[in-house]
Amino acid sequence: MRDGINKPIFVVGSPRSGTSIVTWCLGQHPNLFPVEESNWMGDFAVNVAIAYQVGAARGNRSVLSAMEIREDELFAAFGQCINDLILRHRKDRERKHQAGSTASEPKGRWVDGTPAYSLHICGLRKLFPSALFIHILRDVRAVVRSMLNFHRVAGTQLVPNEEKAYKWWLRSVRACVKAEQAYGPSVIYRIRYADLADNPEPAMRSLLDFLGESYTAKCLEPLAKRINSSNVPPGFKSDDPSTDPAVVKKAAQLCTELENIPQPAQASCAVASEMQAAFEARVKHMATIDTAYKKAQRIINTLNPAALPLVVMTHAALAIADRYSAFLSQLS
């Protein structure tokens, strides 16, 4: 292993924006290997924060506080373990994919292209303080068309309608743009899907330079064919009359702005503080939901289930679900 450092790469952005193709391209590099979309690390970071609060709640009578173990130390320790596990089990993954011939290559970093991590960048940075992020930006109209035709590839619908697709793009891209503002160009790099498609070599050279890796033409090979495409029919139009025009307008305006305005040249401590506050609010909310759920369980267990109407037994659970849905809507 040439490097083996704990410096993973996360490719973020809206679903159907090219996160997978960028991950596969980087995976051709002699020091980088792709992993499947993981999806669990963002929530795991929230759970680590909740666990730290529990483990430090009683001051010097709690092991974390008594031993002066800081929260950032706990996060970094878990992140190091995750990194070591992924590097250690790389050969197992490649054996399953019948790619054993490359297992001896000294690849020391991994690339994760989970689009959902657009909403978890703050938490991922806690687990992996040296991680780098790539924000792949694609025209919102192309993304919406791809989302609506995703069933042609996967056999299942990705979104129920056009408006949901626009809102998903907005939520993901806004989160990535905020991370650009918070952490600056040394941590997160914006690349346009159009540049990767129309001028692949200079786009890839610039991307690898950001990652601190040498250029290799092998990273362009996956671009030679359509991979994970939604196979959108040539004449397909996403013009559902029930779609809120205001949502489409917001998405189109943001897309135009980002296409013409470069990402901020410096990090913003103020925006980073906002992201930290949002992460803490998510942690507090999830901790409250867990406490409320356990309380509801205790109440139900003291009652006679045979004599208790089902609607009463499920009332507490439904109330918790409503609170969680309201919380998620605040993030969109």
> What is the residue-wise DSSP string for 228-240?
S-----TT-----
| Same domain membership, residue 316 and residue 231 | no
Give CA angle at 122 (21, 189), nearest 5°. 40
- Identify the pLDDT of residue 2: 42
Handedness of CA 181, 20, 148, 238 (dihedral sign): positive
Point out the domain boundary residue: 267, 298, 319.
267
Q: How far out from the chain centre does Cα 89 lie?
A: 22
Q: Which long-range contacts (CB under 8 A, 24 or more apart) does 116-119 make?
A: 116/37, 116/39, 116/42, 117/10, 117/12, 117/41, 117/42, 118/12, 118/13, 118/14, 118/172, 118/173, 118/175, 118/176, 119/42, 119/171, 119/172, 119/175, 119/331
Greatest C-alpha distance within the chain: 70
Question: Judging by beta carbons within 10 Å of its beta carbon (0-12, 13-18, 19+), is residue 59 exposed, middle or buried?
Answer: exposed
Same domain, 241 and 286: no
As a 3-state breakdown, the chain gives helix, strand, coil percent values, each rounded to 5, of 60, 5, 30
Per-residue tokens: 24: 């596969």
Q: How far apart are CA 330 and CA 133, in angstroms?
A: 24
Q: Are residues 283 and 180 in the same domain?
A: no
The model's pLDDT over 183-215, given as tens digits with 9 standing for 90+, comes to: 999 999 999 999 999 999 999 999 999 999 999
Same domain, 157 and 290: no
Residue 243 has a pLDDT of 93
Q: Does residue 308 lie within any of the structural domains?
A: yes
Structural domain boundaries, residue 327: 271-331
**257 and 279 housed in the same domain:** no
Same-domain status, 91 and 228: yes
For residues 90 and 201, state if they share a domain.
yes
Running along the chain, 332 residues long, what does each successive block of 10 average in pLDDT? Answer: 74 96 96 95 97 90 91 96 94 69 71 98 98 97 92 81 96 98 98 94 98 97 74 71 94 96 96 98 88 76 60 55 54 48
Q: So what's the pLDDT on residue 9?
A: 98
Q: Which residue has the tokens 């430090």?
A: 56
